């Protein structure tokens, strides 16, 4: 499902916003600290310039509201007591679990193409999805 233009731009914009904020976080045990952070039109213009995006004034108002909601959410998360809890790099203890490489047979090209709804001698045919 395609998101409306405003939602797609806000998603791209917020990724850049949080990446910029996390590059130089204050020295503490929490990841983000926003102390009375205000999202201004100048901040949105600066981030839009860095992301090479252009917004209409009504889009800027929507993006400003979205970013303020995100900051409020992160500030709400900071209320949780995290003393004595080590930061996670991975969700579980298991890291780099790989299966053994095994040589296995594969299906013949003719057999695979025989099951395709549309194919030529060498390839599957699929509907065109990109229009110019």
Check whether 107 has a pLDDT greater than 70: yes
Calpha distance 44→42 (Å, rounded) = 5
Yes or no: say if 32 and 86 are a contact pair by the CB < 8 Å rule. Answer: no
CB-based contact 16:50 (threshold 8 Å): yes
Residues pairing with 119 in the sheet: 124
Band (pLDDT 50/70/90 cuts) for residue 7 is low
128: left (phi over 0), alpha (psi -120 to 50) or beta: beta
The model's confidence at residue 43, banded by pLDDT at 50, 70 and 90, is confident
Which residue, 67, 27, 73, is CA-closest to 48?
A: 67
pLDDT-derived band at 22 (thresholds 50, 70, 90) equals low
In the prediction, which pLDDT does 77 show? Answer: 81
**Exposed, middle or buried by CB within 10 Å (0-12, 13-18, 19+), for 89?**
exposed
Name the token pair of 80.
């949780």
Per-residue model confidence (pLDDT) at position 36: 59
């Amino acid at each position: 499902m395609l998101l409306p233009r405003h939602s797609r731009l806000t998603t791209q914009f917020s990724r850049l916003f949080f990446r910029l904020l996390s590059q130089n976080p204050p020295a503490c045990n929490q990841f983000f600290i926003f102390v009375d952070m205000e999202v201004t039109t100048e901040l949105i213009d600066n981030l839009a310039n860095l992301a090479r995006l252009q917004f209409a004034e009504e889009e800027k108002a929507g993006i400003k509201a979205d970013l303020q909601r995100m900051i409020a959410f992160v500030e709400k998360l900071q209320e949780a007591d995290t003393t004595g809890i080590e930061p996670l790099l991975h969700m579980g203890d298991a890291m780099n679990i790989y299966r053994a490489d095994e040589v296995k047979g594969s299906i013949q090209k003719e057999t695979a193409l025989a099951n395709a709804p549309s194919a030529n001698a060498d390839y599957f045919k699929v509907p065109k999805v990109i229009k110019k």
